[in-house]
C-alpha cells in the first residue's frame, strides 16, 4: 500500500527541470563572456566617448574638407563678373541713347563695349548697334561691312539680316543678296516686314528705316 501511495503522487510534486535549464543558460552566458570581452577590447577608445568625440570629429572633418576652388580662381571669377556687369551697363546705355534718337552718343557706347570687352560673346550685339548708328551718322560703307561681318558671327539673329537686306538693296543695289538676307530675317521674325516695328520697337535710325521701306516697296 505504501508503494502504491508513493507511485500516485501528484504531478505538481514531481521534481522541476527549471534549475537544470538555468545551469545550462549560465554555462552559455559564461561561454560567451570571453567573446564579448574580446569585442569590447577590439573597439577603439573613441567608441567609449560617443557624443563629445563624435561631435569634435565631425567638426574637424567639415573644416578639413577639400575646396576645389583656389583663392586665385575665386578672385578671377569675381573680376570676370565685374567686367561683365560693366559691359552690360555700357551696352544698355548705348541702346537707351539709340531709343532716344541720339545715335552719336549711342555710337560711342557701342564702340566702347567692342574695344574694351571684345573677349565677351555679347559684344557682338554691340557691333549690331554700332552698325546701325554708323549707318545714320558715320560711314555707310563701314556700316555695311560691319553688318556683313556680324551676319556671319551672329548668323540667325534676325535684326542684323534685316538691316543688311535694307542696306544692300538701297546702297549696294544688290536685290538678290538683299532678298536672301531678308528671307532669313523674316523666317525668324516676321515682324521685320512692319516699318513701325523697326522704327518704334527696334529703334532703327531714320535712314535705315527709309532704306527698308524702299526694299519692301521695291522702289
Q: What is the pLDDT along the chain (219 residues), one digit of tens a residue?
A: 444 444 444 444 445 555 555 544 554 454 444 555 544 445 554 444 444 544 554 555 555 576 787 888 888 788 889 999 999 999 999 999 999 999 999 999 999 999 999 999 999 999 999 999 999 998 999 999 999 999 999 999 999 999 999 999 999 999 999 999 999 999 999 999 999 999 999 999 999 999 999 999 998
Whether the CB-CB separation of 151 and 178 falls below 8 Å is answered with no
Torsional class of 208: left (φ above 0), alpha (ψ -120 to 50), beta (otherwise): alpha
The full set of domains in the chain, from first to last, is: 83-217 (1.25.40.10)
CB atoms within 10 A of CB 168: 24
- What pTM does this model have? 0.68
Contact 156, 121 (CB under 8 A): no
Collapsing DSSP to helix, strand or coil, 49 comes out as coil
Rounded CA-CA distance 27/155 in Å is 89
Q: Could you tell me the sign of the dihedral formed by the alpha carbons of 64, 69, 72, 75, in that order? A: negative
Amino acid at each position: 500500500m505504501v508503494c502504491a501511495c508513493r507511485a500516485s503522487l501528484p504531478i505538481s510534486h514531481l521534481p522541476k527541470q527549471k534549475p537544470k535549464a538555468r545551469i545550462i543558460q549560465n554555462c552559455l552566458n559564461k561561454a560567451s563572456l570571453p567573446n564579448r570581452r574580446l569585442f569590447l577590447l577590439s573597439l577603439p577608445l573613441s567608441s567609449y566617448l560617443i557624443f563629445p568625440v563624435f561631435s569634435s570629429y565631425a567638426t574637424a572633418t567639415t573644416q578639413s574638407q577639400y575646396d576645389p576652388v583656389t583663392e586665385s580662381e575665386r578672385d578671377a571669377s569675381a573680376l570676370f563678373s565685374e567686367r561683365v556687369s560693366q559691359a552690360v551697363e555700357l551696352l544698355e546705355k548705348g541702346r537707351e541713347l539709340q531709343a532716344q534718337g541720339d545715335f552719336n552718343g549711342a555710337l560711342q557706347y557701342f564702340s566702347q563695349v567692342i574695344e574694351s570687352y571684345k573677349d565677351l560673346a555679347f559684344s557682338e550685339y554691340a557691333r549690331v548697334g554700332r552698325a546701325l548708328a554708323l549707318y545714320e551718322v558715320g560711314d555707310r560703307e563701314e556700316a555695311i561691312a560691319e553688318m556683313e561681318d556680324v551676319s556671319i558671327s551672329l548668323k540667325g539673329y534676325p535684326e542684323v539680316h534685316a538691316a543688311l537686306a535694307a542696306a544692300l538693296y538701297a546702297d549696294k543695289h544688290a536685290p538678290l543678296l538683299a532678298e536672301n538676307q531678308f528671307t532669313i530675317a523674316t523666317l525668324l521674325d516676321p515682324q521685320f516686314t512692319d516699318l513701325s516695328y523697326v522704327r518704334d520697337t527696334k529703334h532703327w535710325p531714320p535712314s535705315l528705316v527709309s532704306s527698308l521701306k524702299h526694299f519692301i516697296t521695291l522702289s
